[in-house]
Amino acid sequence: MAVELKVPPLGESITEAVVGKWNKKPGDAVSADEPLVVLETDKVTIDVPAPAAGSLASVAFKEGDKVRVGDVLGLIEAGAGAAARPAAAAAPTAPAPAPVAAAAPAQESDARITPTARKMAEENKVDVSQLKGSGAGGRITKEDVLGQLNRPAAPSQPAAPAQPAGPRPNAAREERVRMTPLRKRVAERLVQAQSNAALLTTFNEVDMGEVMALRKKYNDKFQARHGVKLGFMSFFVRASIEALKAFPQVNAEIDGEDVIFKHYYDIGVAVSGSRGLVVPVIRNADKLSLAELEKGVGDLGTRARNDKLTLPELQGGTFTITNGGIFGSMLSTPIINPPQTGILGMHNIVERPVARDGQVVIRPIMYVALTYDHRLIDGREAVQFLVRVKECIEDPERLLLDV
């Protein structure tokens, strides 16, 4: 009995995905709930498990194809994989299983399209592998073929003239790779942010000496008690929350002609996943301790690298922090994550000569940047926001005493 492998619900407002990778080939044995195919959306990566044990009889979409919720990705011959192996072991000289296995994909291929539709497609040289069936179980019908024939000839390729008419001069030394849905979505949002907001960036420098001394003094005890290292991100999250409370415009959102002030603090932390930059959100960060913040950031970062983040963990957020310093960045101008109105950029820590009480001393300095939407936030508030962050980091007791 053939069991359909369908595209599952992908999450709110997500209707399509791209087939990222097939873990099995047609004819391979599969176990129930074994991840068969990886689907990539513009937000998350999803493993689609096998609905039954057996063998993968056919595949309807190849890697890179777009699919929609409910599409039949392939067919599983329930129990076929389990039965085939003992038969081969008991009668290795029997030639019968081989032709049956070879014929199965063709039979399944015939099952995907009605005879009338197949004849019409062959007469008009229509590639049925590119069609999505509207019949029962995703079967291709005559109407699907007619729809393809009546479709206007390639109106959706206005970008073609931008490509050189002839071969690229260095094509042999180049590699063309399709952009992933996540990377495309990141690109769209970055362009959207710069097109729809009045972005401006202000900078300041932070003396990290006090936080580094506090971290060095208590890190071992902190780790022994909480099971996580004491990092810098938790201090900056807490410092940002203090600054957001003082300057609520930075935690707000523009909605048409209205401004939505958010009296909660869901802080997004930009991390690099295996397929690009993602911004998982720490909910109600103002109610978490330093240890809980460190655990939350560490967990989100690990699951981002392993493509285990869920869609709700990437949605929302009132303010974002990004740390380019872990890659060695000295200074940058981060781009806000719409519809947020501000993002804080952290950078690397470098020993620099600075003046203190009339003396030139060497101190560990980090440059910080705040990019903000000037439609809502004036320069005065932006500068004072960074000053508040600076004060909290340079005098970390303020974070502990809430002053």
Give the type of residue at 59: V
pTM, two decimals, is 0.65
Residue 26 φ/ψ, nearest 5 degrees? -55, 130
Residue 21 φ/ψ, nearest 5 degrees? -160, 135
pLDDT of residue 392: 95
pLDDT band at 86; cut points 50, 70, 90:
very low
Q: What is the pLDDT of residues 47-76, one digit of tens each?
A: 888 888 888 888 899 888 888 888 889 888
CB-based contact 78:55 (threshold 8 Å): no
When the pLDDT of each residue in the chain is averaged and rounded to a whole number, the result is 83
Instruction: Indicate which residues carry an active-site annotation.
Output: 374, 378
Identify any residues that bridge with 72 across adjacent strands, giving them in sequence order.
Answer: 6
Chain mean position to CA 397: 36
Place of tokens 């539709």: 117
* SS3 state at 124: coil
Residue 251 and residue 171: Cα distance in Å, rounded? 48
pLDDT band at 103; cut points 50, 70, 90:
very low
Q: How many Cβ atoms sit within 10 Å of the Cβ of residue 275?
A: 18
Tell me the C-alpha to C-alpha distance, in Å, between residue 243 and each of 215, 239, 272, 327: 22, 6, 26, 26
In the predicted model, what is the mean pLDDT of residues 140-153?
70
Residue 289 and residue 222: Cα distance in Å, rounded? 12
pLDDT band at 188; cut points 50, 70, 90:
confident
Residue from 46, 42, 34, 38 nearest 9 by CA: 46
Q: What is the pLDDT of residues 353-396, one digit of tens each?
A: 999 999 999 999 999 999 999 999 999 999 999 999 999 999 99
Q: Identify whether 339 is preceded by a cis peptide bond (ω within 30 of 0).
A: yes
